[in-house]
Copies of this chain bind each other. A is one copy, B any other.
Amino acid sequence: MDCLGDQQGRSSSASVLARCCSWEAVQRRLPFLYWIPKYSLQWLQLDLIAGLTVGLTVVPQALAYAEVAGLPVEFGLYSSFVGCFIYCLFGTSKDVTLGPTAIMSLLVAVYTSSDKSLAILLAFLSGCIQLVMGLLNFGFLLDFISYPVIKAFTSAAAITIGFSQVKNLLGLKDIPRQFVLQVYETFHKLSSTRFGDAILGFLCIAFLLALKWVKDHFPRTYRGMPRCYRFSYIIIWVTTTARNAIVVVAAGLVAYSFEVMGLSPFVLTGKTAEGLPQFHLPPFSETVGNRTVSFSEMVQKIGVGLFIIPMMGVLESVAIARAFSSQNNYRINTNQELLAIGLSNILGSFLSSYTVTGSFGRTALNSQTGVCTPAGGILTGLLVLFSLEYLTPLFYYIPKAALAAVIICAVAPMFDMKICKELWKVKRIDLLPFLATFFLSFWEIQYGIIIGILISLIIVCIPVAQPKIKTTDTGGLHMMVMSGLSFPAMEYLRDAIYKTAFEVSPPRSLNLDFSHVNVLDYSVVIGLQELIHEFQSQGLSLSFSGLQSEVLRILLAADLDGFKHLQNIGSGVHYEEECTEPLLHNVNKSQNH
């Protein structure tokens, strides 16, 4: 039982407190208490292999994604270990691994303009927002983001991120960040391509693609396999799985050799900060030049990113958790996931991390390697800490083109246009939010997402906007609304009433039967008030019948001028029969004034 659940609204505060402090509640908030008592040596073995595998992927990816975020490479690693430890304690999915991702890095670049202090502050604030959302059980908000919107955003992000790396692949300089200008300038400056970078970059891509192909097409291992086969199998598996690390190390060695020979054919990563990040408060103000930028100015700079980044972070992580929980047959708790990711971001920000979320690629790797519990993340985290402590001096020689190749190969599968064909075949109207999100995302990411969500919600609301209305004319004019009335339906109802009552001669009084109306919002109340006045001004009356108690409460609370309602004997479901002898309750307020 969740101590913040809405079912407990009516219980006494003492019992709520008791339930909050119960063992179940503690277990719910610290899910590792579920699996730790059952932990076995076999699980440990599998978790260690998975942790190591993910670690070998996260280190090169972290360096590359920091580049996407426009931050120094060490920030990628700073962001890669806190999530592993925190998620192990608070996460509800065994597969998810938190850390820097391509999309989150892109968003951070957009909303912080690659300012370190802003990025760290944003991680802290996003974490707070996610934590509060989790504590308030706001996870349901994620259900209002439709699949076509997510797909369109991901595809657009894949193109944006992939293209942003073309400049590093070709060694181009002074390329602006805005997508349209970037495409223009990249093509404009194509002639100043540095051949060293381009050759290395394309070689790395070819290598990564080849290793991926081998991984995908390699036959699976089986029990009775001869030992020599088995051994070569393991070598191939390790090579293909750790391909990012291998490519980056190889490219680094090549670059080092050239440097030793006194040649510099590649743009290198260059000097990076060494050692572990220091633990200190996130920066609540910063000094630029000789001016102090205050907290409120920093928040203003981040702007709508403060809404988009926590939402997208949670969305990405929860979508991945749902996908793998569904594949591996376990259940996740959305609100607890929110909590875990929020805490990771908050604590991370004390260690110079930028915003983290669930990584699809590494989560898939984790799952395939056969991870048993989130404990696998501990080894991943330790591996990142080890790299930070001992390997940073070596990062100097990593060519930027090699990191660009890693990113391009990582985001390419995110681009998926087959869905267009699917949508055309299955449900054409869902192409609208897809296309709107896709194209607007190139212009400004937030408008892509928000307007996509808006359009998909409007599509959902179209049936709500056209409630079924039954008109009967036995003696008086009766109109029965067959479902709840929310604001999108008001004009439709008004039209129907005009056609029935006013566009006939002579105009007629009307009785509105609300027996099936269980929802009524303020905009509708205002609309009904206007309708009552229109009927009054023509010397006619608009009365209501079959009001359910909540609807009656709303209409009475609104103190409608000239409101009349007929109280039915009975439930009001079989309207025509029961309404022959209604009791007239005239609650005409205008006469009381």
- Is A490's CB within 8 Å of the partner chain B? yes
Q: Could you say which of A4-12, A217-225, A246-254, A529-537 contacts chain B?
A: A529-537
Give complex CA distance A464, B534 in Å: 32
Contacts of A575 in B (CB 8 A): none
Contact: A457 with B459, CB < 8 Å? no
Residue in B460, B521, B533, B534 whose CB lies within 8 Å of A459: B521
Proximity bits, A504-548, B CB within 8 Å = 1, else 0: 000000000000000111110110001001100110000000000
**Segment from A126-134, A142-150, A158-166, A408-416 that makes contact with B:** A142-150
A487–B456 CB distance below 8 A: yes
Residues of B within 8 A of A490 (CB): 143
Contact B558 A425, beta carbon cutoff 8 Å: yes
Number of interface residues of A (CB under 8 A): 62
- In whole Å, how far is A469's beta carbon from the nearest beta carbon of chain B? 16
> In chain A between 378 and 421, which residues have their CB closer than 8 angstroms to a CB of chain B?
none
Q: List A108-156 residues whose CB lies under 8 Å from chain B.
A: 140-141, 143-144, 146-148
Whether the pair A491, B143 counts as a contact (CB closer than 8 A) is: yes
Which residues of the partner chain B approach A427 to less than 8 Å between Cβ atoms? 520-522, 525, 554
The complex places the Cα of A425 from the Cα of B492 at a distance, in Å, of 26
Residues of B within 8 A of A558 (CB): 422, 425-426
Q: A453 an interface residue at 8 Å Cβ cutoff?
A: yes
A326 in the interface (beta carbon within 8 A): yes
- Contact B557 A147, beta carbon cutoff 8 Å: no
Give the distance to chain B from A137, nearest Cβ to Cβ, in Å.
13
Once the chains bind, are A521 and B146 in contact (CB under 8 Å)? yes
Q: How far is the CA of A95 from the CA of B484 in the complex (A)?
A: 33
When chains A and B are docked, how far (Å) is the Cα of A200 from the Cα of B436? 52
CB of A488 closer than 8 Å to a CB of B: yes
In the assembly, what is the distance between CA of A141 and CA of B462, in Å?
10
* Residues of B close to A487: CB separation below 8 A: 143-144, 146-147, 456, 460
**A474 at the B interface (CB under 8 A):** no
**A534 contacts B329, C-beta separation under 8 Å:** yes
Name 28 interchain pairs, CB-CB below 8 A, sorted by A. A140-B491, A143-B491, A144-B461, A146-B523, A147-B522, A147-B523, A304-B447, A307-B447, A307-B451, A323-B530, A326-B534, A329-B534, A329-B537, A329-B538, A331-B498, A422-B522, A422-B558, A425-B558, A426-B554, A426-B557, A427-B554, A450-B454, A454-B454, A456-B487, A460-B464, A460-B486, A461-B464, A463-B519
